[in-house]
Chains A and B, each alone.
Chain A
């Protein structure tokens, strides 16, 4: 049966093999003078063993089919909006990016009243900029026209 531990164990083993493969370009060094690849390879070997153990002992874990993914769709939307923030932060500036992201989340995702969403998004994006950038002197990126 496909269980959460079987999936997790397999993923860990694959990651360990990937790290070992990627470490081939770095010098391994010797026992006396370990090189930059020494510790990552050691860790990858350990992860391979632990991943295999998780897989082997994971037969009785919760079945994957039983894991509730009810919120996954909305989580994906939130992730996409966060990715937009990453793209926009230094292109559009903090205030405009946050304004757009917050408006989208509250108005379109949470289906709140447009006016309430707009007031909230404007107050939070410009207010937080004033608090952190102006008052606390934490430099936040500006966009076109210095906004």
Chain B
């Protein structure tokens, strides 16, 4: 414990440097704006500023990008509560009860609960990250290719299971993503695969164009022709204080959301999105008044908002300790670190203690910064939403183009984003989830390498995945998930995910 505190002191000595604080502040402000603007998610925001971090130190770069990620989680709740439009995907659940509270005249209280819940969850999960990452990194030294393969496979299965709709469809989307990840030069043999003579495809389809296309451009296409955006409710500063009853109602959901979000965040998958869905379902199940959900239940705001913030920190655990990105955003952040010659993984904590502990300390500082930014300045951020949609969506397209082009300076990437946008639009129309595609595409090179190395190690025996204790256990978890899904498919009424009506999941927003 004394060693942890000593390391934390080292981290604060890094995080409180004026330059780090400045970049953290810039990241938090940009992140909040990104979260507030519908259609521009944290991924697009991070992708946009990624090239701008190339000239910074590794610590400043990671702090700024993490500030955007955190800020987007905070800012996303604003549009959900005041307009019933999720600023980013993880805020979908907040729309339901947050907007209902706003219509009852409790917009200020809903915003305050969301911000304070996010702050508590963010801080709590950083403590967990701080305590968990170093021992996990030690444990990860025991991981070989079979363990990595089963871990990544488990991540895809968890994402498919938690996605809410049909697990078969989600798995099909994950496999589609893995196939997209096959484009480019095979890292073991040097063969060009599915590149059709386009040299730029040698490095494969980038994470940024795929994600910006599937989330950013597809969102613009799906909302095309939208008339004037809904009326924005603007709370006054004095209305921000929740009542005593609202405080009481939010304490336990914030606690549960923090724990749940962190645990879900650790598992590779679109953590912050899934965590808010699961938290909402859990809160409704545990509530003494489930009928209040959808009508402005405080727990329906406090739980999901805490969970998605907590999951954000949780997602950094596999990234920092194992070198495995748990989703598209950590993958882009890993890319930013690699540009600076820093490889996230089990050796990061011992080889780069200033960076690791500086990053941990920033999370404490960043949470405070965001709380100070979000509550008193909510009125300023809300003004962004007054931009008419006919001016807003061309701006979003412009940001998507700049963000994608800037990463490699390649028009091919912009074409890929465009094709992915069209694909994402059609898939949404057909009722397929697109998040598993992105994760599949990210994990594809790692999962293929791990599989081929494992088979080479075992002389072609697939039993290697069962015979080794860690990979066997992970595989058993995966099999249990498949079995659970099969059982709930046979006995439809038992599946909790089906009990959330479609309009509450955001499909009809």
Interface residue ranges, A against B (CB under 8 Å):
4-5, 7-8, 12, 15, 19, 22, 26-27, 30-40, 43-44, 46-47, 50-51, 53-54, 57, 61-62, 67, 69-71, 73-75, 77-79, 81-83, 85-86, 89-90, 98, 101-102, 105-106, 110, 112, 120, 124-125, 128, 132, 136-141
Per the 8 Å Cβ criterion, residues 175-203 of B in contact with A are 175-176, 178-179, 182, 186, 188-189, 191, 193-194
Could you say which residues of chain A place their CB within 8 Å of the CB of B172? 12, 47, 50-51, 53-54
With A54-B169, A98-B398: A39-B448 Cβ-Cβ less than 8 Å? yes
Among B49, B179, B223, B397, contact of A44 (Cβ-Cβ < 8 Å): B179
Which of the candidate stretches B296-304, B320-328, B449-457 sits at the interface with the other chain?
Answer: B449-457
State the CA gap A44–B182 with chains docked (Å): 11
State the CA gap A89–B393 with chains docked (Å): 19
B392 CB to nearest chain A CB (Å): 11
With A40-B182, A90-B411: A67-B398 Cβ-Cβ less than 8 Å? no
Could you say which residues of chain A place their CB within 8 Å of the CB of B188? 36
Residue of B nearest to A89 (CB): B411
Among A19, A57, A82, A106, contact of B217 (Cβ-Cβ < 8 Å): A82
With A102-B394, A124-B398: A85-B414 Cβ-Cβ less than 8 Å? yes
Could you say which residues of chain B place their CB within 8 Å of the CB of A46? 175
Could you say which residues of chain A place their CB within 8 Å of the CB of B429? 4, 67, 69
Interface residue ranges, B against A (CB under 8 Å):
49, 51-52, 55, 166, 168-169, 171-172, 175-176, 178-179, 182, 186, 188-189, 191, 193-194, 217, 220-226, 390-391, 393-395, 397-399, 401-402, 405-406, 409, 411, 414-415, 418, 421-422, 425, 427, 429-432, 448, 451-452, 455-456, 459-460
Excluding A62-B431, A71-B221, A101-B394, 20 further A-B contacts by CB distance (< 8 Å) are: A15-B176, A22-B194, A35-B189, A36-B191, A40-B179, A57-B166, A74-B225, A75-B224, A78-B224, A101-B398, A102-B394, A105-B397, A106-B390, A106-B391, A110-B390, A120-B391, A124-B398, A125-B398, A136-B51, A137-B55
Could you say which residues of chain A place their CB within 8 Å of the CB of B455? 31-34
| A75 and B221 within 8 A (CB) | yes
| A106 and B394 within 8 A (CB) | yes
Among A5, A105, A128, A136, contact of B52 (Cβ-Cβ < 8 Å): A136
B20 CB to nearest chain A CB (Å): 18
A106 CB to nearest chain B CB (Å): 6
| B397 and A82 within 8 A (CB) | yes
Could you say which residues of chain A place their CB within 8 Å of the CB of B55? 137
Residue of B nearest to A47 (CB): B175
| B394 and A74 within 8 A (CB) | no
26 residue pairs A–B, Cβ–Cβ below 8 Å: A4-B430, A8-B430, A22-B194, A32-B456, A32-B460, A33-B455, A34-B456, A36-B186, A36-B191, A44-B179, A50-B175, A54-B169, A57-B166, A67-B430, A71-B223, A71-B226, A79-B422, A81-B397, A82-B397, A82-B418, A85-B397, A86-B418, A102-B394, A105-B397, A124-B395, A139-B409
State the CA gap A109–B218 with chains docked (Å): 18
Could you say which residues of chain B place their CB within 8 Å of the CB of A5? 169, 430-431
Residue of A nearest to B400 (CB): A82
Among B168, B217, B459, contact of A50 (Cβ-Cβ < 8 Å): B168
A37 CB to nearest chain B CB (Å): 8
| A86 and B182 within 8 A (CB) | no
Could you say which residues of chain A place their CB within 8 Å of the CB of B431? 4-5, 8, 61-62
Among A39, A81, A110, contact of B452 (Cβ-Cβ < 8 Å): A39
